[in-house]
């Protein structure tokens, strides 16, 4: 998850609004297995967490090193 979240943060956090930062904090507090399953499309995230920010994270493509 560190590779995915770190790559996403590098690409997007500088342009975040206060609302985006709050939503990102919620995602950082989410368990890694749940978050990974949502990103990988294995499970659907709960409706209350399906925010535009999570959609952006789910669409984010990361590259290793």
pTM above 0.85, yes or no: no
C-alpha 22/C-alpha 35 separation (Å) is: 16
Report whether pLDDT(10) > 90.
Answer: yes
Q: What percent of the chain has pLDDT over 90?
A: 83
In a domain, 15, yes or no: yes
In a domain, 65, yes or no: no
C-alpha 1/C-alpha 55 separation (Å) is: 16
Burial class (CB in 10 A: 0-12, 13-18, 19+), 20: middle
Q: Which secondary structure element, helix H or strand E, spans residue 47, and what is its range?
A: none
Q: What is the mean pLDDT of the chain?
A: 91
Q: Considering its fold, how many domains does the chain have in total?
A: 1
Q: Which of 6, 14, 16, 7 is nearest to 53 (CA)?
A: 16
In a domain, 64, yes or no: no
Residue 34 belongs to domain spanning? 2-59
In a domain, 14, yes or no: yes
């Amino acid at each position: 998850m560190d590779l995915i979240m770190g790559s996403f943060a590098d690409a997007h956090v500088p342009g975040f609004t206060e609302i985006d930062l709050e939503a990102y904090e919620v995602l950082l507090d989410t368990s890694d297995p749940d978050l990974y399953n949502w990103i990988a499309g294995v499970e659907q995230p709960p409706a209350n967490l399906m925010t535009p920010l999570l959609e952006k994270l789910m669409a984010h493509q990361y590259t290793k090193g």
